[in-house]
C-alpha cells in the first residue's frame, strides 16, 4: 500500500535531503526585494532571467567592519550583481527553501570563485586532496612550527589557548605575510624553511578571518604545492568555520579556526591530570590485587611445604611401600592360581583333542569327503565333456568351408570383396573368384 505522508513528514524528508546535498554552495545572481529590519538581518531575493531564490543573511554572519564603501552589508542594494556563499535551508513553517548566506560579495569577486574552482579541479585531478597521501599528525607534539604573521592577533590567540594545553611543548614561529601580493611567496618560503630545518614535528598555518580577497593567498597554486610536498605533516586553521581555501584541502588536517588548531594539537591539561589520576587509581587497584594474589599463593605454598617435609614424605613412602608389598603378594597368589587353572584346562583340552576316538572320527570324515570329492569330480568332467562336444558340433556347422566337401563352392566378387549371395550383387564384366574344395577358379560375368 502506498504510504501517505503528512505535510510535516514530507517537509522534514525534503529538508534532510536538501540540507545534506547542499551543505555549502556558491550562487550568482541579482539582488531584488532587499529588506533590512531592525534585527540587523538582511533579507533579499537572488534572481536571474528564469528563477529566484530567497536569501537570508544573518547579522552574526555579516562582517564586523562598518566602513561605508568596503562593507557589502552596507553597500548591498537592489539591482546589484553579487555572488553568495552559504547553505540551503528549508523553512518548514512556510514549506519553502532559502539560501542562508555566510558570505556576500560583489559580482566582480565571482571571477575569484571561478579561479578557485578551476585550481581546485586541477589539483584534485593531480591527487593533491587524496586522503591516502595525507600524513598522520603526531599526538601532543614537543616541537611545533607556526607559519603566520608574527604581529597579528591570531598568534596571540593561539599561544593563549596553547598555554592551557599539553605538556609544555616548544613553538617556533616562521614569519610570513598572510595577505597581499607578497604573501604567497613568503608562505612558500616559510613552509620550505620549516622542512629544511627539520626541527618541528608538525607545521601549523594559521590566519584570522576575512573576505575572499583577504584569504586569496591561501588559494595560490605555489602555496598548495608547498603544502603538498611538505615532508612534515601540515595543519591549517585559516579564517572562520565557513572559510575553506585550497591550502585547507591539501593540508593533512584542517580545523575551523586558529584556536581549534591549538586544541587539535594538545589535549587539555586538566583532562591529562584526570587521566593521570585515573591511571594512578588503576595502578593502586592492580597492585592491591597483585599483593592479594601473592598472599594467597604464599599460603598455598606454605601448606604445600608442610605436606612435602622430609619426615612426612618418608612416612608416605613407607605406607606406599607396604601397600605395594601387599598388592604384590596378593597379585602373585592370584597369578599362580590362575596359571594352575589354565594348565589343568589345557591338559584336559589336549587329551580330548588327541584321544583315539578323536582320530577315528577325523579318519571317517576324511574318507567320506574323499568319496564325495571323487563322485563330484566325475560328474563335473562328464558335464564339461558333453558341453564341449555340443560346442564342437555347432562350430563345425558354422564353418563356411564345410559345404565345399559336399560339392558346394564359394563365389567372391572381387570388386566388392563380398560373397555372392544374389544376382544383384554383380555387374557385367565383374571378376569372380570361385573357391572349391581343392582350390580357386577365376571367372568373369558376361551379363547380369
**Distance separating alpha carbons of residues 61 and 84, to the nearest angstrom:** 12
User: Is the pLDDT at 296 greater than 60, yes or no?
Assistant: yes
Query: What is the chain's length?
Result: 448
Q: Higher-confidence residue: 307 or 24?
A: 24
Q: What is the pLDDT of residues 86-110, one digit of tens each?
A: 888 888 778 788 998 988 887 755 5
Q: Higher-confidence residue: 126 or 157?
A: 126
**Distance separating alpha carbons of residues 158 and 52, to the nearest angstrom:** 43
- For domain 128-267, the CATH class is alpha beta
**Distance separating alpha carbons of residues 416 and 434, to the nearest angstrom:** 14
Residue 189 and residue 176 in contact, taking contact as beta carbons nearer than 8 Å: yes
Confidence at 65, pLDDT banded by 50, 70, 90: low
Per-residue confidence (pLDDT) for residue 87, from 0 to 100: 86
Residue 219 and residue 119 in contact, taking contact as beta carbons nearer than 8 Å: yes
Q: What is the pLDDT of residues 184-193, one digit of tens each?
A: 999 999 999 9
User: Is the pLDDT at 66 greater than 60, yes or no?
Assistant: no
Which three-class secondary structure string do you get for 181-219? CCHHHHHHHHHHHHHHHCCCCEEEEEECCCCCCCCHHHH
Give the CA diameter of the chain. 146
The predicted model gives 55-66 an average pLDDT of 78
User: Is the pLDDT at 199 greater than 90, yes or no?
Assistant: yes
Q: Cβ neighbours of residue 286 under 8 Å, at least 6 residues apart?
A: none
Domain boundaries, the chain: 7-117, 128-267, 272-324, 346-398, 402-444
Per-residue confidence (pLDDT) for residue 203, from 0 to 100: 93
Per-residue confidence (pLDDT) for residue 327, from 0 to 100: 87
Per-residue confidence (pLDDT) for residue 243, from 0 to 100: 67
Instruction: Name beta bridge partners: 314.
Output: none
CATH number for the domain whose boundaries are 7-117 = 2.40.50.140
Helix (H, G, I), strand (E, B) or coil at 428: coil
Per-residue confidence (pLDDT) for residue 110, from 0 to 100: 54
The predicted model gives 126-136 an average pLDDT of 91
Per-residue confidence (pLDDT) for residue 111, from 0 to 100: 62
Closest CA to 46 of 107, 5, 118, 2: 107
Per-residue confidence (pLDDT) for residue 231, from 0 to 100: 93
Torsion of Cα atoms, 171 then 176 then 178 then 182, to 10°: -170
Q: What is the pLDDT of residues 229-246, one digit of tens each?
A: 999 999 998 877 666 789
Q: Cβ atoms within 10 A of the Cβ of 58, count?
A: 15
Amino acid at each position: 500500500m502506498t504510504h501517505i505522508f503528512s505535510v510535516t513528514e514530507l517537509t522534514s524528508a525534503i529538508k534532510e535531503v536538501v540540507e545534506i546535498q547542499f551543505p555549502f554552495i556558491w550562487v550568482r545572481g541579482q539582488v531584488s526585494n532587499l529588506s533590512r529590519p531592525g534585527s540587523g538581518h538582511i533579507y533579499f531575493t537572488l534572481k536571474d532571467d528564469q528563477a529566484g531564490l530567497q536569501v537570508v543573511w544573518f547579522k552574526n554572519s555579516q562582517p564586523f567592519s562598518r566602513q561605508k564603501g568596503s562593507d557589502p552589508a552596507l553597500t548591498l542594494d537592489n539591482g546589484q550583481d553579487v555572488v553568495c556563499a552559504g547553505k540551503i535551508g528549508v523553512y518548514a513553517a512556510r514549506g519553502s527553501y532559502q539560501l542562508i548566506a555566510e558570505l556576500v560579495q560583489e559580482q566582480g569577486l565571482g571571477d575569484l570563485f571561478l579561479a578557485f574552482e578551476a585550481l581546485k579541479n586541477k589539483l584534485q585531478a593531480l591527487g593533491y586532496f587524496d586522503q591516502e597521501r595525507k600524513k598522520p599528525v603526531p599526538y601532543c607534539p614537543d616541537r611545533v612550527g607556526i607559519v603566520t604573521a608574527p604581529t597579528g592577533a591570531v598568534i596571540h590567540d593561539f599561544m593563549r589557548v596553547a598555554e592551557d594545553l599539553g605538556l609544555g611543548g616548544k613553538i617556533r614561529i616562521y614569519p610570513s605575510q598572510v595577505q597581499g601580493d607578497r604573501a604567497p611567496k613568503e608562505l612558500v618560503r616559510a613552509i620550505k624553511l620549516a622542512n629544511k630545518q627539520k626541527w618541528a614535528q608538525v607545521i601549523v598555518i594559521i590566519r584570522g578571518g576575512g573576505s575572499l580577497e583577504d584569504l586569496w593567498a591561501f588559494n595560490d597554486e605555489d602555496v598548495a604545492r608547498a603544502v603538498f610536498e611538505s615532508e612534515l605533516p601540515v595543519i591549517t586553521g585559516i579564517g572562520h568555520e565557513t572559510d575553506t581555501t585550497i591550502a585547507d584541502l591539501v593540508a593533512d588536517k584542517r580545523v575551523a579556526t586558529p584556536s581549534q588548531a591549538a586544541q587539535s594539537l594538545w589535549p587539555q591539561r586538566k583532562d591529562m591530570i584526570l587521566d593521570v589520576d585515573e591511571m594512578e587509581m588503576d595502578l593502586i587497584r592492580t597492585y592491591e590485587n597483585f599483593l592479594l594474589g601473592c598472599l594467597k599463593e604464599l599460603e598455598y605454598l606454605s601448606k604445600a611445604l608442610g605436606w612435602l617435609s622430609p619426615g612426612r614424605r618418608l612416612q608416605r613412602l613407607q605406607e606406599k611401600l607396604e601397600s605395594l608389598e601387599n598388592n604384590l603378594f596378593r597379585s602373585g597368589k592370584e597369578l599362580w592360581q590362575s596359571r594352575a587353572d589354565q594348565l589343568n584346562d589345557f591338559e584336559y583340552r589336549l587329551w580330548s583333542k588327541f584321544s583315539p576316538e578323536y582320530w577315528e572320527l577325523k579318519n571317517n570324515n576324511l574318507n567320506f569327503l574323499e568319496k564325495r570329492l571323487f563322485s563330484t569330480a566325475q560328474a563335473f568332467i562328464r558335464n564339461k565333456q558333453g558341453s564341449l562336444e555340443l560346442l564342437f558340433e555347432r562350430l563345425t556347422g558354422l564353418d563356411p568351408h564345410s559345404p565345399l566337401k559336399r560339392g558346394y563352392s564359394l563365389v567372391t566378387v572381387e570388386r566388392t570383396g563380398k560373397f555372392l549371395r544374389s544376382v544383384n550383387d554383380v555387374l557385367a564384366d565383374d571378376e569372380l573368384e570361385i573357391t572349391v574344395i581343392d582350390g580357386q577358379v577365376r571367372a568373369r560375368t558376361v551379363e547380369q
